[in-house]
Amino acid sequence: MNVFILGGMSPRHYEWVRQLAEALQPHFDEIRLLDYRHWEQQGAEMDLEYEITQAAALAKDFGEYLVVAKSIGTVLATLATARGLLAPQRCVFMGFPLKVVTADLSEVANALLQLPPTTFLHNEHDPLGSAEAVKTYVGAHAPAIYDFQTLPGDTHDYIDFDLIARVATSQ
């Protein structure tokens, strides 16, 4: 099984995806990650549609894979999967950005229904949406098979790479 990692919007996720890849490396055959174009252009906005296209190209001929994504990466994976551009066997999502989704990305609600089995890891008091609010939203638009795990914390950071690796390899 392979793994495809999609980070969050902030350029600091350039390092985060690599740290996560290092933690996952012993457990998977191949790891691919997407470096978003705007990470390299200081002050640039993310072009979600461009990144969806890039993700689809990177996942082409990847075999069976799991998507591990954080924040905007969860949105990218959800939309690309619903559009038939990604075909993960499963997903592990962290920090689903509820405030961004409900404000600007209404398409995500229906797209969630198209996801393969997905585990959501979410900090209890994540500033982009509390675990309770995200659980309610996901439950209302849930993929057929999903699990929601509330983690202690009041940040949008998800840096327990050992936990993420355990969840990614547990199914």
Please, what is the Cα angle at 81 between 80 and 86, to 5 degrees?
Answer: 80
pTM of the model: 0.97
Q: What is the pLDDT of residues 106-126, one digit of tens each?
A: 999 999 999 999 999 999 999
Tell me the two tokens of residue 169: 């390899």
Q: 116: part of which helix (H) or strand (E)? A: none
For residue 9, give the CATH number of its domain.
3.40.50.1820
Q: In which band, very low, low, confident or very high, does the pLDDT at 43 lie, cut at 50, 70 and 90?
A: confident
* Number of domain units in the chain: 1
Identify the pLDDT of residue 42. 76
Which range marks the domain in which residue 106 is found?
A: 2-169
